[in-house]
């Protein structure tokens, strides 16, 4: 059982919804990023999504693209992202960390080496948005063999014919993308999301967590009410990009977490 599995079992037993927060590793710099990540659990975050900076983030909107650029310009690398996770683990051995990014940096490092290093750094799961199920032998299967969850995205265009393929080797949770488009674009609507979550849950026992288009405590609560939890990324990253103090960023995160947990 991974930390992700344990966390969702704990939440389910308590009758609580999950709040997942995304931040870009190294944004705006390594030390500030580490301080933010260390503060997320006390702000109510159940699962941390740690963005891996990449030059060509095709699924991300301007807010997260700019965060990746700031991180890369500050010298952030895959190794430093793993170092950040390992540093976090020195004081927190329970909060799950999901690394979210693209395959190129992992491929460049070498899959076996990456998985060994990620496991050692305390990474619990991976979301690699540009590897479809047809490429599961590339990373998904080796990751699960190494004890890491491989979390797949389902979207509004994932129809009943495609869904079984998407779910086949998914573990940890299913990430439902609430809108068609990039991160930070559009608004998630519970009336649209609810039926889709129910459709996915009819085909899997995994928790279904909803992200994209969630940017307020009210929206976090509304989405959590029809799913197993909510993910917020761009709204948090936007606070960091605006140069807000760490304490203000974490206070904002807490309002979002409180929204999800109020359901």
- State the alpha helices, DSSP H only, in the chain: 3-14, 30-39, 62-73, 78-89, 103-109, 111-121, 140-145, 163-167, 190-201, 217-224, 234-241, 246-261
Environment class of 253 (CB within 10 Å of its CB; exposed 0-12, middle 13-18, buried 19+)? buried
From the list 49, 117, 196, 228, the catalytic residue is: 49
- The question of whether 49 is a catalytic residue gets the answer yes
Q: Is 60 a catalytic residue?
A: yes
Cα(first)–Cα(last) distance of the chain, in Å? Answer: 27
Q: Which of 5, 27, 46, 60 is catalytic?
A: 60
**CA separation (Å) from 60 to 68, 202, 211?**
10, 29, 12
Distances (CA, A) of 237 to 35, 188, 221, 258: 14, 18, 19, 18
Structure tokens at 161: 């014919």
DSSP code for 190: H
- Rounded CA gap, 244 and 219, in Å? 22
In which region does residue 128 sit, left (phi positive, over 0), alpha (psi from -120 to 50) or beta (all else)?
Answer: beta
Q: Are 207 and 10 in contact (CB under 8 A)?
A: no
> Among all residues, which ones are annotated catalytic?
49, 60
């Amino acid at each position: 059982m991974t930390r992700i599995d344990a966390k969702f079992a704990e939440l389910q037993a308590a009758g609580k919804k999950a709040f997942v927060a995304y931040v870009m590793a190294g944004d705006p710099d390594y030390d500030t990023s580490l301080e933010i990540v260390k503060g997320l659990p006390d702000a109510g975050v159940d699962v941390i999504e740690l963005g891996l900076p990449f030059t060509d983030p095709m699924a991300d909107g301007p807010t997260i693209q700019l965060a990746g650029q700031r991180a890369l310009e500050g010298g952030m690398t895959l190794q430093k992202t793993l170092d950040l996770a390992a540093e976090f683990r020195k004081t927190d051995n329970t909060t799950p960390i999901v690394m979210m990014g693209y395959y190129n940096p992992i491929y460049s490092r070498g899959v076996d080496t990456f998985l060994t290093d990620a496991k050692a750094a305390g990474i619990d799961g991976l979301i690699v948005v540009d590897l479809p199920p047809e490429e599961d032998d590339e990373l998904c299967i080796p990751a699960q063999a190494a004890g890491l969850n491989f979390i797949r995205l389902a979207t509004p265009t994932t129809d009943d014919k495609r869904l079984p393929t998407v779910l086949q080797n998914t573990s940890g949770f299913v990430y439902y993308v609430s809108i068609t488009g990039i991160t930070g674009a559009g608004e998630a609507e519970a009336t649209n999301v609810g039926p889709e979550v129910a459709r996915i849950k009819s085909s899997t026992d995994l928790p279904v967590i909803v992200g994209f288009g969630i940017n307020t405590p009210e929206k976090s609560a509304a989405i959590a009410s029809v799913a197993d939890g909510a993910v917020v990324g761009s709204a948090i990253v936007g606070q960091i990009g605006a140069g807000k103090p760490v304490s203000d960023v974490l206070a904002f995160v807490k309002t979002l977490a409180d929204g999800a947990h109020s359901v």
